[in-house]
Amino acid sequence: MRNRFFILTMLLTATVVVLLTGCREEGADERPGLYVNTDLIYAFPGEDIHLSGQASCFTGLQQFAIRCDAWKVNDVTDLSGQKPVVWNFEYVLHVPTDATFPQQLIITATDVHGSEIKKNISVLFAPATRAPYVEGLRKQMAIEKDTISGTIKSDITLTLYGEDNLKEAVVSIPSLSKQDTFRLTRKEEKIHLNYTFNDVGHNAMTLTVSDNSGNVTVMESDLVAIENEHADAIADYPNMFAFKRNEQESDYIFGYYMFMERKDDYCYQVLVYAESDETEFLFSTTKETNGGRLFGESPYVDERILSRQTLPGYVKGYKPGKGYWGLYIDLKRMYIEKWQLIPADASTAPLYHTGDWNGWKFDAMSKGATAYEQVADITVYKGNQYFAFATTTDWKNVWRTWKTDGGEFAGWWFSTDGGGDGASLPTIDTDTEAHISFDTAIKWCTIKKR
């Protein structure tokens, strides 16, 4: 009897266990899944660490957390209201400026039943490798004399950037017996240079910027103390033109004035070729210089652009030096800068021009004196004629001038229908023998009378 009762009790217990087990939610015994995009991070103090990944659980997620006790990080996301099956996360962790290494980031995903999975991400120290850089400092900077106070005082603001947090900036000006140290703490800092100069002249300045990773940037500038230079009022012109002072406009049918591309408010850019170190460039708001507004270099500072309409001869032509250059002028901030072009980057593809006005026949151009200049001799007939250059003879890629909302411009026009629109030339009174040049390094055409 006792054995029979024992067996019955065991059967009932087993039945209850089976029933209870069958009532549990499917997947309740499964732990959440967790994927993070990295297992190891190299960082430095002040840096932002970007983490991403995915947590998932069949029964739904209750909580997601990222913790680093040493850095006082305990970021908890409550998911109980959503109970998502999949949780995609993007997280930015700011490393404290006083952070110590190595550390562990502990990422935890917890499901609705309290089951959790953890992932440890090791964070090791690695110094920044990019040196700081400076915005606003040029090789030469003009410091003008104040006409009211009679003092020559600088008012220069520089913006410093670092990959790591910046540490300090040291400014040294031997002529003033100055060496000032600016203590820095952030990745981006501004410093203001306010110095008084007693005399007109050149003052060498050295700026040394360092960051917390030991990277150092050293820059030099010539602060030129000058008498006040009068510059006429300016406007934000739709377009400007560059031209060579050592050339005569009357010798050209086309190409004496080079179109400058408007890059920003008061800012214009052009690509040029200088035949020698003495080649001078001037800049004009119109295709006319007699009494027009001219812009050129300051007599005192190589990188300073000035306009003096009342005395055009006052403007000094800008000499970039022999070679191919990009020129950028900022009328509002009154400076000009250049950068050297690499002719090897220019196109060496065959180039054709339209030499037969009636039949639009294409003739190949021959190579000229410079490595990337292609030239040919033509006859330009009177009247408003057309002229074009192309890299093929089927009008698929044609160079021409055209009008835009911002003014006249020139460049490559990619034909989609083979229509054959050309470049409109100025009206001429007599048939003229001409020598045309197209330099593929700067994509510019000139047509000079022979």
pLDDT score recorded for residue 106: 95
Task: Read off the pLDDT band of 385 (50, 70, 90).
Answer: low
pLDDT score recorded for residue 286: 87
Measured distance CA(175)–CA(197) in Å, rounded: 9
CA-based nearest residue to 391, from 359, 407, 415:
415
- Please, what's the b/e burial string for 387-425 (b: 16 or more CB within 10 A of its CB; e: otherwise)? bbbbeeeebeebbbbeeeeeeeebeebeeeeeeeebbeb
3-state secondary structure of 377: strand
pLDDT tens sequence across 52-103: 999 999 889 999 999 999 999 999 999 999 999 999 999 999 898 888 999 9
pTM of the model: 0.68
- Determine the topology of domain 133-226 in CATH: Immunoglobulin-like (2.60.40)
Check for a shared fold between 33-125 and 133-226.
yes
Cα angle for residues 102, 103, 104 (degrees, 5° grid): 140
Task: Read off the pLDDT band of 329 (50, 70, 90).
Answer: very high
Between 90 and 380, the higher pLDDT residue: 90
CATH number of the domain located at residue range(s) 240-341 in this protein: 2.60.40
Q: How many residues does the chain have?
A: 450
pLDDT tens sequence across 104-157: 999 999 999 999 999 999 999 888 888 999 999 999 999 998 888 889 999 999
> What are the boundaries of each domain within the chain?
33-125, 133-226, 240-341, 346-449
pLDDT tens sequence across 283-318: 999 887 766 678 999 888 888 999 877 666 677 899
Mean model confidence pLDDT for the chain: 83
Does residue 348 have a pLDDT over 80?
Answer: no
- Determine the topology of domain 33-125 in CATH: Immunoglobulin-like (2.60.40)
pLDDT score recorded for residue 429: 78
Task: Read off the pLDDT band of 421 (50, 70, 90).
Answer: low
Measured distance CA(217)–CA(189) in Å, rounded: 15
Does residue 406 have a pLDDT over 70?
Answer: no
CATH number of the domain located at residue range(s) 346-449 in this protein: 2.60.40.3620
